[in-house]
Structure 1
Amino acid sequence: MSGAPGRVRVMLYLRAAEAEEPAVAAAYHTISKDLASTPGLLGNELLREVTDPGAFAVLSEWEGLAAFQAWEAGSAHRGTTSPLRQYQDGERPSPFALFEVTAEY
């Protein structure tokens, strides 16, 4: 079965010290509530790496690249997502990655 053409998933990589982990979750929930009615956003999840408890990721799914880029270019983007900015994983070449869904079962 092939995927819906054009859907995009965005992975934001985060890192937090043990004492900061509750703040990561709180920031995620605050941002998610603010983004709940964002056009083109299909949903998001906060993920924690099993083998590295300080590593997190936010996986969001968008209707397409154009919807994500429109939101990212908007004036509210930076302010809305700022609570997680301090936790972006600086050890990676980029703190986020874009993936287009090309197939699924």
Structure 2
Amino acid sequence: MSAAPGRLRVLLYLRAAEADVPAVEEAYHRISKDLAGTPGLLGNELLRDLTAPGAYAVLSEWESLAAFRGWETGSAHRGTTSPLRQFQDRERPSPFALLEVTAEY
């Protein structure tokens, strides 16, 4: 089965000290509510890494790279996502990845 053409998934890697875990989860929920209805955004998930304490990823799905870029370059992007910025995993070469869906079952 082939994927819908051009769908995009974005992974944002996060890391928090044990005391900050509730703040990560609270920020995720607040941002998700603010992003509800964003054109092109199909949904998102907060994923906890079971092998690394305090490590999380936010996986969002977008209709296309163009839809994501349109939102990313818009004026609301930085303000809306700022509550999670302090938790971005800076130990990685990049705290995020853009992944195009090329196949799925």
TM-score, length of structure 2 as denominator length: 0.99
Whole-Å Cα distance in 1 between the matches of residues 77 and 51 of structure 2? Answer: 31
What CA distance in whole angstroms lies between the structure 2 residues aligned with 1:44 and 1:12?
11
Matching residue of 2:51: 51
Over residues 2-39 of structure 1, what are the superposed CA-to-partner deviations in whole Å (9 max), with x where a residue is unaligned?
11010000000000000000000000000000001100
Residue equivalent to 1:68: 68
| Residues paired across the two proteins, number | 105
Following superposition, the deviation at residue 46 of structure 1 comes to: 0.2
CA RMSD of aligned residues (A): 0.4
For residues 16-75 of structure 1, the C-alpha deviation after alignment (integer angstroms, 9 at most, x for no partner) is 000000000000000000001100000000000011121000000000000000000000
Unaligned runs of 5+ in 1: none
Query: What is the TM-score normalised by the length of structure 1?
Result: 0.99
Unaligned runs of 5+ in 2: none
User: After TM superposition, what 4+ stretches of structure 1 lie above 3 angstroms from structure 2?
Assistant: none
